[in-house]
Amino acid sequence: MADKTLPTTKTDVAPAEEVANLSVASEAEQNITPWTVEGAVVNGEQQAVDYNKLIAQFGTRKITPELLERFTTVTGHEPHLYLRRGIFFSHRDLEKILDRHEQGKPFYLYTGRGPSRGHMHVGHMTPFIFCKWLQDVFDAPLVVQLTDDEKFLFKKELTIDQVHKYAIDTVREIAAVGFKPEKTFIFSNMDYMGGAFYRNVLQISNLVTLSQARSAFGFVGESNIGQVHFPSIQAAPALCSTFPGIFGSRKDAACLIPCGIDQDPYFRITRDVCPRLKHPKPSLLHARFLPALQGSKSKMSSSIDSSAIFMNDTPAQIKNKINRHAFSGGRTSLEEHRMYGGDPDVDVSYQFLTYFVEDDQELEALAAGYRKGEISTGEMKARCIKVLQEFVSDFQAREKAITDEQVKQFTDPNFPRHFASLSSNKK
State whether residue 291 is helix, strand or coil: strand
Query: Which pLDDT value is given to residue 26?
Result: 56
Cα dihedral 333, 334, 338, 343, rounded to 10, equals 70
Q: Band the pLDDT of 118: cuts 50, 70, 90.
A: confident
Query: Which pLDDT value is given to residue 175?
Result: 97
Query: Which pLDDT value is given to residue 12?
Result: 35
Say whether pLDDT at 17 is over 60.
Answer: no
Say whether pLDDT at 47 is over 90.
Answer: no
- Are the CB atoms for 84 and 58 separated by under 8 Å? no
At position 240, the amino acid (one-letter code) is C
DSSP tally for the chain: helices H, then strands E: 20, 13
Dist. CA 156–CA 225, nearest whole Å: 14
How does pLDDT run across 352-407, given as a tens digit for each residue? 999 999 999 999 999 999 999 999 999 999 999 999 999 999 999 999 999 999 99
How does pLDDT run across 69-111, given as a tens digit for each residue? 999 999 999 999 999 999 999 999 999 999 999 999 999 999 9
| DSSP element (H, E) containing 186 | strand 184-188
pTM of the model: 0.90
Say whether pLDDT at 206 is over 50.
Answer: yes
